[in-house]
Structure 1
Amino acid sequence: MQKNRNEIPAKYKWNLDDIYPNWDLWNKDLDSLKEMMNKIPAYKGTLANNSKTFIEFIELEEKISRLLDKIYLYPYLQRDLDSTNEEASVKLQEIESIYANYSISSSWITPEILTIPKETVVEWINTNPVLEPNRFPLMEIYRLQEHVLSADKEKLLSYFGQYLGVPSDIYSELSTSDIKWNEVELSDGTKLPITNASYSKIVATNRNQEDRKKAFEALYNSFNINKNTYASIYKSILQRDFASAQSRNYSSSLEKSLNPKDIPVEVYQSLIESTKENTAPLKRYIALRKKALGLKEYHYYDNSINIVDYNKEFSYEEAKESVLESVKPLGDSYYNGLNTALGEGWLDVYETSNKRSGAYSINIYDVHPYMLLNYNGTMDSVFTLAHELGHTMHSMLSTENQPYPISSYTIFVAEVASTFNERLLLDNMLKKTTDSKERIALIEQAISGIVGTYYIQTLFADYEYQAHQIVESGKAITPEILNNIMSNLFSEYFGDEMSMDELQKIIWARIPHFYNSPYYVYQYATSFASSANLYNRITSDKYTAEEREASKNAYLELLKSGGNDHPMNQLKKAGVDLSKKDAFLAVSTEFNRLLDLLEEEINKEKGE
């Protein structure tokens, strides 16, 4: 239920004054930003002259970047609180236009840096400590040298920057602005349009399978009716990605996506192979749910309903205390940091009119992280709070321990801290309750994370890989071809326990990540696997107390490391080597452990 924003106490709302107390100061900084951006072209042709000029330039670039973070996010966050905020929308478009023009006018920078011998830049860094924070990003420029074009070609490509995003924009309009939702009548007489939000609620809470089926067919038909258009949009994205990869001397879209973070293609392939080899617990879980829910046939729309009817509500204050208590195993420093993050002004807690849906944590290096929630008192909301606080603590520790140029961690490791926090919360809540219904709900909450974050995201990553390969081998893309990929994947992952609906195959049309950020979703799975490995090393009795303590310290060092190394190396230092398929086995091991617990609790609930 939405709250009136004016009636919500300040302690539950963002304090954006920490960024700017008013638009006047924002405008003043915008003028400063433009002034600094205008200085950049004057350095063209001078970077190789001497270290003094080079340092001046690097420092100016950092000032621009840090100021841009604040200037961009101030209207961005305001618009997320109220999508009808006209002033914020106008300001946001203004800064986006300024940045687009800056990208074009500064496209010469990387090619010019590459005209300086690498040995010279290394010497400048060694003899000028002020450059040390830039060592890693500067060396990355040289590592990726073969994929950087000449200055004129880089400038030419930069003109296409906004245009290359058009397919994603078209998808967004078709799937959001222009989509026609179908109305259904449920078994209780309720009539409503089935949107993404109402569908999610029905499949998660409505215990009548026929109602879930109606909602499923209504939602998926809204996408299926435009399947040819969605397939055409997706084909253009696949073709764009391959053209972009070839223009930068990559052999595939996947290689272009992974190489900037030095992630071997084999890691992506190993994730898919290992997951396919370990689908037994997923199939076991579906069979268990089918029996526990008393279903003759189990469908995809049955995945979200709880085995038990559990509707306990948790106040936000209760949620805060639960999450705080759960992180104590990570030490006083982590606990105190989390307590700070839960203070006033960092979280916008409740759903209000025109507020963005979902949840996220976003960091401003020179201010602090901001977390958006839409807290509604459900168990899922409690776990969402723990999840976002994991991101926030990762950002806080990175900011505290790394200079700006290497403070931002990659998406590849971003979900480690968030899912780790969820595991801490689960274990703490399980220890505190003897209620079988609550224990079943908690275990299912954890398992749904494994299914949704690891197995489903790997299945989606598998789909992307196959779709891109089709285009890269010069073959056609049609709705039927995309449907067949999905159909085969769901059969491989879920087996015969799940009945495949024809409309389920069109799921590729309603996953925004495929259209907005290709080759992104696999990182949910790699982060989840890494988190499972780390959690096991820190909490399992099979390790000595000294080993667990060392693993905890290594984990905290990972969170403090920001972006000071390639993510694979960062994880390896913490004890996880994703180049080995065995690294992914921790997920299926944990899955089976939770399934054993779930079966035990179900039997208790039945009195067996």
Structure 2
Amino acid sequence: MAAKPTTRVRAEIPAQYRWDFSPIYADWEAWEAGMREMDQRIDAFVKLQGTLKNGPEAVLAAYQAYDEIGKLQYRIYRYPQLQRDTDTRDQNVSGRFQRVGAMFAKFDAASAWFTPELLTVPEATMHEWLDKTPALAPYRFPILEAFRRQAHVLDEKGERLLALASRSNRASNETYSELSTSDIKFPTIRLSDGKEVTLTPGNYSALLSESSVQADRAAAAAAHVGTYGQTAHTYAAIYNGILQRDWFLARARNFPTTLDAALDENAIPRQVVETLIDVARKGTSPLQRYARLRQRLLGLPSYHLYDQFVPVFRSDKTWPYEEARQQAIASVAPLGKEYVQRYQKFVSGGRVDVYENEGKRSGAYNAGVYGVGPYLLMNYNDTRDAMFTFAHEAGHAMHTVLSYEHQPFVTADYTIFVAEVASTTNERFLLEHLLKQTTDPKERFLLLQEAVDAIVGTFYTQVLFADFELRAHQLVERDEPVTTEALNQLYAQVLKEYWGDAITADDFYKYTWARIPHFFNTPYYVYQYATCFASSAKLFKSMTQGPKAERDAAVKRYLTLLSSGGNDQPMKQLQKAGVDLTQRQTVQAVVDQLDELVTRMEAEAAKLQPAAK
């Protein structure tokens, strides 16, 4: 079994654990040629303006030209972006990546005419063209979606104005990014053992999960979150800018609320978000029971949010990458031989950047390149958490593999609304696979905790966030002031509603909203983590319980979902797979699952002696 490299020098890490960029472009010269080609194709696309009324062949030509530009966008974007993320210190790569942004802005402005002009063709005429032109079949769904959204598309001048405003609309995001990363000064505190630690996000996260001294965790949380509190008025002004922008764009496109505007693109009924929040808020009992279980096992007189990351039990068991990879592959055997074979091929080398190196960005993600396939970033450190992160991101990668394999470019990109289904489903397969391999109550407890923490982090926390940002947007919709005090009160109120008296409230946590990048960068995004989690819970149950014929049918529906890319509205895709997110019982299933998992944890904990801590 290959050991984790001891070096952090990228060139010294074995090649099979590093990305191979050559399938995208052979070298930077080839990338430059791609940039020139993109520029030429944009100029050619502009010349198609005014032709769509000429008939189905003209519409087909425009869509095909649009596709070719889209395929190029993937390549010219990912080539510098992926390399930048392996060494964020390389200013040459960063400069090239900035050029991509300028090129994309040019295309946005140059293509602003396309949808408004498409919609000048009478809908009945477009249906006739689609029916009599087989070559337009791949474009049927996006074309009909454009007509569905017609009430919210402006004329050419309006669309051009909004396109021109797109860069200025990002100013608040960019200001937040600079304030929260470049300009922020994290404090240094002295711990109870005399050591000093600077509370960067990484150090702060590590301290909360590693320190057994509650007073140190308390001091760290107060200092780290308090850092955002020190400039909370500025964060509030930035967030007000985000909220006002969203409300402006909603009204500009004739939506009654910002939520309706955010959901319209994928035809998500607002009932989905409202049901999600309502069921989660009424189903907090298992969440609070888990907090009380942790408090009891940790032996704490009071339990705080900063106590939720420290392990109840510790294990020195490690999971080297090669073993984790084998376990993850074995765990998805219920999905069939073809899925497993594709999985093995993907992880065989060149597509997973496994280990940390100097200058490499933190975290993990999956990034697709149409015509090439997915690239998966890790910073693997041989922990249980890293193994589950790998299973999660590889789930995304396999979704990408199947979508690219079965869909033409125009419908290959799946929505965020279904994206987390594949990742969380693979995590659940891994959990059950590992539980079957051990009877050790401590290992079983830790595995069950992995699943419970996933529900807490991916479901409850994200619904809490979604609840907050919905209420925050409603402030501007009612013309109410968005002040630091208003946001602080709102966040503290939501925390109380979800955690109840299972935690002791700390005043400084009211500033948490200021340190959640999703609020500033991708409003109305986080609820989708929770809906995906609810969907994967339902799908996993269908694929693993009941008669074999029913399980096989559920697997077939699930693989069809992963292969469908974005060829239909995501709600309809999930309904075909057997999930209806408008139904309360679909969301309630996650609440019930947490309740069952906490019960299993309690049973394993009862077998352990306190000395096992």
TM-score range, shorter chain: over 0.9
Mapped partners of 1:440, 1:212: distance in 2: 23
Aligned-partner SS, 2:367: strand
- Counterpart in the other structure of 1:177: 182
Contact 2:218 2:306 in 1 (8 A): yes
Corresponding letter in the other structure for 2:576: K
- Counterpart in the other structure of 1:561: 564
Aligned-partner SS, 1:184: strand
Q: Does 1:483 align with 2:459?
A: no
Corresponding letter in the other structure for 1:479: T
- Consecutive aligned runs of 4 or more in structure 1 exceeding 4 Å deviation: none
- Counterpart in the other structure of 1:606: 609
Q: How does 1:394-413 map to 2 (within 5 A)?
A: 394-413=399-418
Q: Does 1:352 align with 2:357?
A: yes
Q: Does 1:91 align with 2:100?
A: no
Q: Does 1:514 align with 2:488?
A: no
Deviations 1:344-383 (A, max 9, x none): 1000000111111100001111101000000011100000
Q: How does 1:129-148 map to 2 (within 5 A)?
A: 129-148=134-153
- Counterpart in the other structure of 2:317: 312
Contact 1:2 1:351 in 2 (8 A): no
* Percentage of matched positions with identical amino acids: 43
Mapped partners of 1:435, 1:5: distance in 2: 38
Coordinate RMSD, CA, aligned: 1.2
Mapped partners of 2:320, 2:500: distance in 1: 40
Mapped partners of 2:404, 2:194: distance in 1: 53
Q: Does 1:361 align with 2:366?
A: yes
- Provide the TM-score with structure 1 as the length reference: 0.98
Q: Give 1:607 shift.
A: 8.4
- Counterpart in the other structure of 2:582: 579
Q: Does 1:498 align with 2:503?
A: yes
Aligned-partner SS, 2:189: strand
Mapped partners of 2:41, 2:110: distance in 1: 13
Corresponding letter in the other structure for 1:585: Q
- Provide the TM-score with structure 2 as the length reference: 0.97
Mapped partners of 1:135, 1:481: distance in 2: 46
Mapped partners of 1:214, 1:322: distance in 2: 39
- Counterpart in the other structure of 2:161: 156
Q: Which moved more, 1:46-55 or 1:556-565?
A: 46-55
Q: Give 1:121 shift.
A: 2.0
Q: Does 1:296 align with 2:296?
A: no
Mapped partners of 2:106, 2:564: distance in 1: 33
Aligned-partner SS, 1:432: coil
Q: Does 1:280 align with 2:285?
A: yes
Q: How does 1:240-279 map to 2 (within 5 A)?
A: 240-279=245-284
- Counterpart in the other structure of 2:240: 235
Contact 2:420 2:533 in 1 (8 A): yes
Q: Which moved more, 1:21-30 or 1:493-502?
A: 21-30
Contact 1:311 1:378 in 2 (8 A): no
Aligned-partner SS, 1:192: strand
Mapped partners of 1:587, 1:531: distance in 2: 9
Q: Give 1:179 shift.
A: 0.5
Contact 2:543 2:555 in 1 (8 A): yes
Aligned-partner SS, 1:370: strand
Q: Give 1:2 shift.
A: 6.3
- Counterpart in the other structure of 2:3: none
Mapped partners of 2:271, 2:199: distance in 1: 41
Mapped partners of 1:282, 1:585: distance in 2: 13
Contact 2:7 2:13 in 1 (8 A): no
Mapped partners of 1:286, 1:54: distance in 2: 58
Selected match of 2:548 from 545, 554, 557: 545
- Counterpart in the other structure of 2:443: 438
Selected match of 1:418 from 389, 413, 423: 423
Contact 1:306 1:444 in 2 (8 A): no
- Counterpart in the other structure of 2:61: 56
Q: How does 1:318-397 map to 2 (within 5 A)?
A: 318-397=323-402
- Counterpart in the other structure of 2:600: 597
Q: Give 1:126 shift.
A: 2.1
Q: Which moved more, 1:413-422 or 1:48-57?
A: 48-57
Corresponding letter in the other structure for 1:571: L
Q: Which moved more, 1:570-579 or 1:305-314?
A: 305-314
Kindly tell me: are residues 607 and 478 of structure 1, through their superposed partners in 2, closer, same or farther at Cα, counting changes over 3 Å? closer
Mapped partners of 1:351, 1:367: distance in 2: 24
What is the number of residues matched between the two proteins? Answer: 606
Q: Does 1:108 align with 2:109?
A: no
Kindly tell me: are residues 475 and 2 of structure 1, through their superposed partners in 2, closer, same or farther at Cα, counting changes over 3 Å? farther
